[in-house]
Amino acid sequence: MDSTPPPAAIRRLGQNFLVDPNIVRKIVALAELSPADTVLEIGPGRGILTKALSRAAGHVTAIEVDSRLHTYLSERAAHLPHVTLVLGDALTCPIEYLPIGTIVVANLPYYISTPLLFRLLSHGHRFSRMVLMLQNEVADRLIAKAGTSEYGVLSVMAQYSAHISKAFKVSPQCFRPRPEVDSAVVLLRTREPRARRPEEEHRFTALVRGAFAHRRKTLVNSLKNEGYDSRHVEAALTKLRLSPSLRAETLTLEQFLELAHCMEDDASPRAHGSLQQ
């Protein structure tokens, strides 16, 4: 690449660029790429990861929202074989055209990591796995177990869609500018869809969101506030031999799935939703 300096970082766009080649190597190794693979990268930035991905995979689609960085990379496209650079917002731009089996590899912009995760998970059937750099605290929420303070909607919905492991932590020293938080790289291997029909998944998502909507209340009261009939919820809990005084954060993913199954006939007025926020 030539010596023209890259555009300065804009913090509000989550621009903490990786500068440690060792971390880039570890991320690419974790993705286990082959020349037959298609990769989606969100936020290529100055291209440090994009370049390594283009060497390991057959094709890379890289979506960048900052037009300065998009132009910077486009002018260096000769160094990025098999890369399609897209100028767009990864929260809204189309990703439905990507082939089934695409692998997502990204150092995510942290200010929107949670909505991006929900979006990627809602397209989980398209992605075989995802290797993502996130805030360490978000990585801990992804892998959190029931009964812990980190456990919430993101934990349940992510574990519903994928097997997740935290691969390694990354220090702020590995970025410029340095982020104010520690980071971690996670590997999400997407599961076979559990729901037979989209409505089932929508109902499950609405139930989980409703259960956690009022964390200080019991599960029954939180769902009641979200428009569910508390008698149906209590009856389902009794059937599952669960106490009606439980709070949402004590229910495991399997117990949420059983609860959703028991409540399938609930005609809740607001029992609609999707994985997408």
Cα angle: 70, vertex 17, 47; to 5 degrees = 40
Please tell me whether residue 104 binds ligand SAM under the rule CB under 6 A: no
Please tell me whether residue 57 binds ligand SAM under the rule CB under 6 A: no
Binding residue for ligand SAM, selected from 28, 39, 40, 63, defined by CB under 6 A: 63
Q: Which is nearer to ligand SAM, 37 or 66 (CB)?
A: 66
Binding residue for ligand SAM, selected from 31, 39, 43, 158, defined by CB under 6 A: 43
Burial of 150 (0-12, 13-18, 19+ CB in 10 A): middle
Binding residue for ligand SAM, selected from 1, 7, 13, 229, defined by CB under 6 A: 13
DSSP string, 5-27: PPPPP-GGGT--EE--HHHHHHH
Of 76, 37, 79, which Cα lies nearest the Cα of 60?
A: 37
Q: Helix 153-161 crosses helix 198-212 at what angle (to 10 degrees)?
A: 160
* Cβ within 8 Å of residue 267, ≥6 positions away: 229
Please tell me whether residue 14 binds ligand SAM under the rule CB under 6 A: yes
- Across the beta sheet with 183-190, what order do the strands follow? 83-87, 59-64, 38-42, 102-107, 127-135, 183-190, 162-170
3-state secondary structure 68-135: HHHHHHHCCHHHCCCEEEEECCCCCCCCCCCCCCEEEEEECCHHHHHHHHHHHHHCHHHEEEEEEEEE
Q: Which is nearer to ligand SAM, 16 or 218 (CB)?
A: 16
Name the minimum Å distance from CB 38 to ligand SAM.
Answer: 18
- DSSP code, position 90: T
Q: Which is nearer to ligand SAM, 122 or 230 (CB)?
A: 122
Displacement of CA 24 from its chain's centroid (Å): 20
Binding residue for ligand SAM, selected from 90, 121, 236, 242, defined by CB under 6 A: 90
Name the minimum Å distance from CB 51 to ligand SAM.
Answer: 10
Binding residue for ligand SAM, selected from 42, 120, 130, 156, defined by CB under 6 A: 42
Q: Which is nearer to ligand SAM, 13 or 30 (CB)?
A: 13
Contacts to ligand SAM from residues 109-168, by CB under 6 A:
109, 112
Q: Which is nearer to ligand SAM, 17 or 204 (CB)?
A: 17
Q: Are 155 and 131 in contact (CB under 8 A)?
A: no
Please tell me whether residue 44 binds ligand SAM under the rule CB under 6 A: yes
Name the minimum Å distance from CB 33 to ligand SAM.
Answer: 16
Name the minimum Å distance from CB 189 to ligand SAM.
Answer: 22
Q: Are 149 and 215 in contact (CB under 8 A)?
A: no
Site string for ligand SAM, 177-216 (x = CB under 6 A): ----------------------------------------
Peptide bond into 109 cis (omega under 30): no
Please tell me whether residue 45 binds ligand SAM under the rule CB under 6 A: yes
Please tell me whether residue 226 binds ligand SAM under the rule CB under 6 A: no
What is the binding site for ligand SAM (CB under 6 A)?
Answer: 13-18, 42-46, 48-49, 63-66, 69, 89-91, 107, 109, 112
